[in-house]
Amino acid sequence: MTTEPVLSVEDLSVRIAGLHILQGVSFTVAPTGVTVLLGRNGVGKTTTLRAVLGLTPTGGEVRGSIRMGAQTLLARPTHRLVRDGLGYVPEDRCVFAGLTVAENLRLAERRGTTPAYDKVFALFPELDRRGRQRAGSLSGGQQQMLAIGRVLLNDNRLLLVDEPTKGLAPKVVTEVAEVLERVAESVPVLLVEQNLAVVRRLARDAVVLAAGRVAWTGDARELLLETALTRSLLGVGSADGHHHEAAPAAAAREDGH
């Protein structure tokens, strides 16, 4: 099996609205399993995922190099990246509340390919049962399953998943973690996740952002064993597995203050 990274980010710099949010971020994502992207609130984790996807807001400036295998991603339109196998499960799930579950899934179908409904319904039988229900009336956990299921209708080379357990009840957090564990058996995942119990369960590799740069990379479980390190990098006490923010990290301003 290849050990070449599925994603290589080099010297990524992102400026938005006068803020120099990412200042030379470099990391790789392994071709199998889950790589977790960690850091205090507001450090730039979502900004990193969105830069990979070409979704930096208009007026924002992105520099550096992002490659998926041999392919250069920067400056390619998002729909092309998705077509080429970059799957995205956004932080706020972004299901269409007024449409049914089946309609939400149908919208994700890609022309010219056969959508993998069997695979998706095997992972999420509830999506099959609730096909005619409006997505807006699903629970948060069910909406998350829909957001993940939608992406899995198509073949992906890499999934970017942003805080999938945020705001969910503990039992549902476990269900989402189980699903992601199964998903990651067949496709590599770059995961932003604040729940350290979920990180401990899923992640093999960790990348930690601080002050616009990569502050630490390595084995995720090793990181979690280093209480002093996790406290200084993440501002957490991890006794209950949750990431409690000590103080929000301000993005560095353009003027460096």
Q: By the criterion CB under 6 A, which residues form the site for ligand ATP?
A: 16-17, 19, 21, 39, 41-47, 57, 251
Residue 188: phi, psi to the nearest 5? -65, 150
Q: Are 205 and 30 in contact (CB under 8 A)?
A: yes
- Identify the DSSP state of 135: G
- If the CB atoms of residues 19 and 99 are measured against ligand ATP, the closer one turns out to be 19
State in angstroms the smallest separation of the CB of 237 from ligand ATP: 17
State in angstroms the smallest separation of the CB of 47 from ligand ATP: 3
* DSSP H or E segment with residue 14: strand 7-16
State in angstroms the smallest separation of the CB of 184 from ligand ATP: 21
Spatial distance between the Cα atoms of 37 and 54, rounded to a whole number of angstroms: 18
- If the CB atoms of residues 187 and 210 are measured against ligand ATP, the closer one turns out to be 210
Cβ neighbours, 10 Å, residue 182: 11
Q: What are the distances in angstroms from CA 80 to CA 13, 71, 152?
A: 22, 12, 17
State in angstroms the smallest separation of the CB of 16 from ligand ATP: 5
- If the CB atoms of residues 31 and 42 are measured against ligand ATP, the closer one turns out to be 42
- If the CB atoms of residues 49 and 220 are measured against ligand ATP, the closer one turns out to be 49
SS3 220: helix
- If the CB atoms of residues 39 and 141 are measured against ligand ATP, the closer one turns out to be 39
Beta bridge partners, 16, equal: 19
Spatial distance between the Cα atoms of 255 and 257, rounded to a whole number of angstroms: 6
Q: Edge-to-edge strand order for the sheet containing 189-192?
A: 86-89, 158-162, 189-192, 34-38, 203-210, 213-219
- If the CB atoms of residues 17 and 122 are measured against ligand ATP, the closer one turns out to be 17
State in angstroms the smallest separation of the CB of 97 from ligand ATP: 22
State in angstroms the smallest separation of the CB of 209 from ligand ATP: 7
